[in-house]
Amino acid sequence: MTANMVGRIAGLLMVGLIATASLLAADSPANSPVANSADDRQITDPKSVVSTTNPAAGPVPIPQLYYTRSTSQPAWSPDGREVVFTTNLTGRFNLWKVSAAGGWPVQLLQSDDRQFSAVWSPDGKWVVYEQDFGGGELYDLFAVASDGGEPINLTNTPDVSETNAHWSPDGSTLAISYRPKTSSNTDIALLDWKTRKVSKLTNEQMKNREWDVASWSADGKTIYANRYNAGFTDSEAYRIDVASGKLENLTPHQGDVLYVVSSVSPDGRTLLLTSNEKGGYQNVALVDIASKQRTWVTDLQWDVEAGEFSPDGKSFTYTTNFDGRSDLYLVDRATGQAAVLRLGAGITRPDGNPTAFSPSGDRLLVSHQSSTQPADLWVYDIAAHQPRQLTFSAIASLNPSRLPASQLVHYKTFDGKTISAFLWVPFNLKRDGTNPGIVLPHGGPTGQTTDSFSKTAAALASRGYVCIAPNVRGSTGYGMEFQRANYKDLGGGDLQDEVYAAHFLVATGYVDEHKIGITGGSYGGYMAMIAIGRTPDVWAAAVELFGITDWLTEQEHEEPELQQYDQSILGDPVKDRKSYEDASPIKYFKDAKAPLLILQGANDIRDPKEEAEQAETILKKEGKIVDAHYYPDEGHGFAKRENQIDAMERTVAWFDRYLKNKQ
């Protein structure tokens, strides 16, 4: 796990269909047609933004967007013949499997609860996965026979969350992540497959640190792992002796630097590492385990994330993140040549648990999506340089040609910083300054809007709303300095970055400055609430999903791990109480003018329903226009299809009422 994978909305799955894919081609990240660094981004002239003509355009029916499936987290069978994965094909995130050669997938399990992170046992007889209850994010580990059957709860601990299972090479033990409900620490534990006994391997004493399993050694004697701080600004890679529990820090350093091991070579001599040691930007290095010497593979002022070694150790993967768009690279260790596996613009990543490489090393599991095509799994034949689509998530009526595609734009914000944003311009608009616009803040704040398939943007843009999703200060993907630029200033500079996104919409000539709304989930929901109170004249309507009303009451009610995360950004809630108060929407509700719709899961442990309830109560007392709807069987983010559809229909109806139909 690296910093750009972490956010308050982590765990929500956005996953689809692409029509064509190019062959493997020799390429270099430095030759990518984007700025050489975040500092070189060119400002977009708002008047260069154009609404294209499309006679076939029209509102996409909301149910079609959500009957388009999400597909993610695949795992190869040990013989390389099958792939198990998570999909909500039935409206629930359950386990399915499919022949690696293609064909109709078979449902492995059925449950109303979410099932994630499946991994096959080395003998191919079992699949272990994690499942929570009612969206509450307290996961148990389960096992099911790979040919189907009744699931077995391996842990059955209602007060402990067990996740991230990694089989030992001999299949006798599972290394897992282990977090008690009342603890802020995630440790590594060992689960004995035969006895089901769980014993902790690490015993973290610092409240703001957590452990994560990366890989077993080939002989099963060693586990390679990462130890993070709560703010994901500092981490170390460790070697752990399984028999004794002895820890060896492989990346000792001073100050806050990220060192994240993702894979160990089959011969046990080399680690594949992601680090932001070079100027605060994540790059990839090879680490000689014996000497701890690092050899840098990339040197970019964008974020790059290490992948995995191939089974024979002769190659490895990494993924670039150029301004929210990603490509997958395959590196030949003998020559050092990196070749890009490009499946089109958007997001292309290796995807597999514990590795994207097939057991024989001849194929890669790859996930690809774009702004008009939801994510799907592909099998890439490395020797033939040939991708083949494995899953088909979009329903036939969801034609990409009828969806407005994203555009990457850049604008200067209030203090001169450059902000990147994705923009969706509806078809057939007149540049007459009469159209409604929506700002879409992302979750996190340590998160990033990427060029992925957004059902929210598709629903709104196809209905005539010009949408913009900015990567404001605090976002990942632009270096650690930018990520830390909102420290103790939540709802300050980052909110102004959102406001300047609204200004950009108006400057295009398409959008009426009196018809701008804002909506987001988690930190995006928080941003929607503080926006209408702290900058009330900018917004005409808002919809917030599972956001934060008061950072101090949030500290009282949220789960302990997130308490530490919030403190890493806002400071100590006692010593730095003012930063919590100034960042809380509750302080500004009296000045709010925009009607607010609140959508909240009752079982949310990240941003608990108490936050939504107090926002609703206070705004009603202030005589503001507010409505709220609570989903009793959901947690942080809505996983059940009927609730996803309901939430989007309520969102569209709210904006239609207060923006589109505004006189």
Give the residue among 303, 319, 225 at the shortest CA–CA distance from 263. 225
Give the pLDDT confidence score for residue 34 in this predicted structure: 58
3-state secondary structure of 483: helix
Give the pLDDT confidence score for residue 663 in this predicted structure: 65
Q: How far apart, in whole angstroms, are the C-alpha atoms of residue 511 and residue 434?
A: 6
Encode pLDDT of 62-72 as tens digits.
Answer: 999 999 999 99
Q: How far apart, in whole angstroms, are the C-alpha atoms of residue 362 and residue 96?
A: 23
Encode pLDDT of 115-151 as tens digits.
Answer: 999 999 999 999 999 999 999 999 999 999 999 999 9
Global pTM value:
0.93
Please give the distance of CA 462 from its chain centroid, rounded to a whole number: 24
Q: How far apart, in whole angstroms, are the C-alpha atoms of residue 144 and residue 125?
A: 9
Show me where the domains of the chain are located: 72-389, 403-660
Q: Residues near 393 by Cβ (< 8 Å), separated by ≥ 6?
A: 15, 16, 17, 68, 69, 70, 71, 87, 374, 375, 376
Letter string b/e over residues 350-365, b meaning 16 or more CB atoms within 10 A of that residue's CB = bbbbbbbbbeebebbb
Q: How far apart, in whole angstroms, are the C-alpha atoms of residue 608 and residue 546?
A: 8
CATH architecture of 72-389: 7 Propeller (2.130)
Query: Do 544 and 528 meet the contact criterion of CB atoms below 8 Å apart?
Result: yes
Which segments in the chain show pLDDT lower than 70?
Answer: 1-34, 663
Q: How far apart, in whole angstroms, are the C-alpha atoms of residue 261 and residue 43?
A: 36
Q: How far apart, in whole angstroms, are the C-alpha atoms of residue 423 and residue 401?
A: 17
Give the pLDDT confidence score for residue 28 in this predicted structure: 40
Give the pLDDT confidence score for residue 11 in this predicted structure: 35
Give the pLDDT confidence score for residue 661 in this predicted structure: 83
Give the pLDDT confidence score for residue 222 in this predicted structure: 98
Topology of domain 403-660, per CATH? Rossmann fold (3.40.50)
Q: How far apart, in whole angstroms, are the C-alpha atoms of residue 542 and residue 534?
A: 13
Residue 439's identity, in one-letter code, is V
Give the pLDDT confidence score for residue 387 in this predicted structure: 96
